[in-house]
């Protein structure tokens, strides 16, 4: 199977899983469920589900277990986008090529959509396709990665940094939390699903995968910063040039465009290096590192 075929097959599964793990829009309160589905379905690169499936295949996880984990990861990611786009945060009007939830509906609905998507992620993770030990381990990974010492904490640092000059280490700390924590959780959750099914967590393998995730997570952000200044809104599906306009520190603003491109290439190589212990079995993860660095939107 080529990488493109593999990716298509995973994306199809994940879309089906999201469809399944979200309440139907005929279920009351129907408008809230309609808005949750508007936010989640039919858009997005699904990077976290792809990482989860690739890591899970490496450890022999069942595909339907990875579907539940992937749906949960994507719901958390989308909830964070919906809240970040609200007027009291980044105040953005375009996301995944569509009006943001607070524009399409209203602010209160956007708030509740985000809140309810976070809960729904934990509903998905306690679906009975997963054994109780898997459910418990995956919930802990996802909750820690989402909360105040993970994604939400990174968002708080991001807000506090607007208009300030950050050092490069400070910028890295912010991104390690804001986007890195959930990407790392995607890889760990995939890997743990298979490991728990087949004997229990493997600390050494998880350590290598964490090194991979750290490189991919940072690369993802560096490339985001590059695309923000080199690509138009129509291609990105979100407002281009917004970070510079908002006075937000970025890799491009701190080290420049050329050095940012060199850094992305170096991080891709670091990611490949971290996968060395797994040999050819980690092919999909290696290809995903390439995808993250080479993407154009």
Residue 232's CB is within 10 A of a number of other CB atoms, namely 10
For the bound state, the minimum distance from the C-beta of residue 47 to its own copies, rounded and expressed in Å, comes to 20
- Work out which of 27, 207, 273, 294 binds its own copies, going by CB under 8 A: 27
Separation of alpha carbons 296 and 225, rounded Å: 12
- Work out which of 9, 12, 31, 259 binds its own copies, going by CB under 8 A: 31
Name, in order, each residue with C-beta under 8 angstroms of 165's C-beta and a sequence gap of 6 or more: 249
User: How many positions of this chain bind its own copies (CB under 8 A)?
Assistant: 53
Given the complex with its own copies, which of 34 and 210 has the nearer CB atom?
A: 34
For residue 156, state whether it binds its own copies (rule: CB under 8 A): yes
Question: Strand (E) positions, the chain?
Answer: 94-95, 98-99
For residue 256, state whether it binds its own copies (rule: CB under 8 A): no
For residue 37, state whether it binds its own copies (rule: CB under 8 A): no
Cα–Cα separations (whole angstroms), residue 99 to 18, 88, 169, 231, 261: 20, 17, 34, 19, 31
Crossing angle of helices 47-58 and 181-197, in 10° steps, is 30
- Work out which of 19, 23, 241, 254 binds its own copies, going by CB under 8 A: 23
Crossing angle of helices 151-161 and 132-146, in 10° steps, is 10
Separation of alpha carbons 35 and 99, rounded Å: 12
> Which residue stretch of 157-165, 244-252, 258-266, 267-275 sits at the interface with its own copies (rule: CB under 8 A)?
157-165
For residue 136, state whether it binds its own copies (rule: CB under 8 A): yes
Residues 176-215 that bind its own copies (CB under 8 A): none
| Residue 247 zone, left/alpha/beta (φ > 0; ψ -120 to 50; rest) | left
Given the complex with its own copies, which of 175 and 268 has the nearer CB atom?
A: 175
Report yes or no: 226 and 264 within 8 Å, Cβ to Cβ. yes
For residue 281, state whether it binds its own copies (rule: CB under 8 A): no
Q: In the numeric block, which tokens belong to residue 242?
A: 């917004």
For residue 279, state whether it binds its own copies (rule: CB under 8 A): no
Binding string, 71-110, against its own copies, x = CB under 8 A? Answer: --------xx--x--x-xx----------------xxxx-
Given the complex with its own copies, which of 57 and 67 has the nearer CB atom?
A: 67
For the bound state, the minimum distance from the C-beta of residue 145 to its own copies, rounded and expressed in Å, comes to 8
For residue 114, state whether it binds its own copies (rule: CB under 8 A): yes
For the bound state, the minimum distance from the C-beta of residue 123 to its own copies, rounded and expressed in Å, comes to 5
Given the complex with its own copies, which of 57 and 141 has the nearer CB atom?
A: 141
Separation of alpha carbons 295 and 188, rounded Å: 23
- Work out which of 1, 2, 4, 132 binds its own copies, going by CB under 8 A: 132
Q: In the numeric block, which tokens belong to residue 273?
A: 């290096």
Q: For the CA atoms of 125, 21, 80, 174, what is the dihedral angle to 10 degrees?
A: 40
For residue 168, state whether it binds its own copies (rule: CB under 8 A): no
Cα–Cα separations (whole angstroms), residue 263 to 60, 226, 251, 252, 258: 33, 11, 9, 11, 9
In the complex, the residues that contact its own copies under the rule CB under 8 A are 23, 27-29, 31-33, 36, 79-80, 83, 86, 88-89, 106-109, 111-112, 114-116, 118-123, 125-126, 132-133, 135-137, 139-140, 142-144, 146-150, 152-153, 155-157, 159-160
């Amino acid at each position: 199977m080529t990488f493109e075929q593999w990716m298509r097959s995973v994306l199809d599964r994940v879309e089906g899983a999201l469809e399944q793990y979200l309440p139907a829009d005929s279920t009351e309160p129907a408008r809230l469920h309609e808005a949750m589905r508007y936010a989640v379905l039919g858009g997005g690169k699904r990077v976290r589900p792809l990482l989860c499936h690739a890591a899970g295949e490496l450890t022999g996880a069942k595909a339907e277990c990875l579907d539940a984990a992937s749906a949960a990861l994507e719901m958390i990611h989308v909830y964070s986008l919906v809240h970040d786009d609200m007027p009291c945060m980044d105040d953005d009007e375009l996301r995944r090529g569509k009006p943001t939830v607070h524009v399409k509906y209203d602010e209160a609905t956007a708030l509740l959509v985000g809140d309810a998507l976070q809960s729904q992620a934990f509903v998905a993770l306690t679906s009975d396709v997963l054994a109780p030990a898997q459910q418990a381990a995956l919930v802990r990974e996802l909750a820690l990665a989402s909360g105040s010492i993970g994604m939400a904490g990174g968002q708080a640092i991001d807000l506090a940094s607007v208009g300030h000059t950050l050092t490069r280490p400070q910028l890295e700390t912010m991104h390690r939390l804001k986007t890195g924590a959930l990407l790392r959780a995607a890889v760990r959750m995939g890997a743990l699903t298979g490991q728990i099914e087949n004997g229990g967590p493997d600390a050494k393998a998880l350590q290598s995968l964490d090194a991979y995730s750290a490189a991919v997570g940072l690369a993802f952000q560096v490339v985001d910063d590059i695309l923000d200044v080199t690509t138009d809104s129509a291609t990105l599906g979100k407002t281009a040039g917004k970070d510079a306009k908002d006075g937000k520190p970025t890799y491009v603003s701190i080290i420049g465009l050329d050095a940012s491109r060199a850094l992305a290439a170096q991080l891709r190589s670091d990611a490949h290096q971290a996968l060395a212990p797994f040999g050819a079995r980690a092919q999909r993860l290696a290809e995903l590192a390439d995808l993250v660095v080479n993407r154009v939107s």
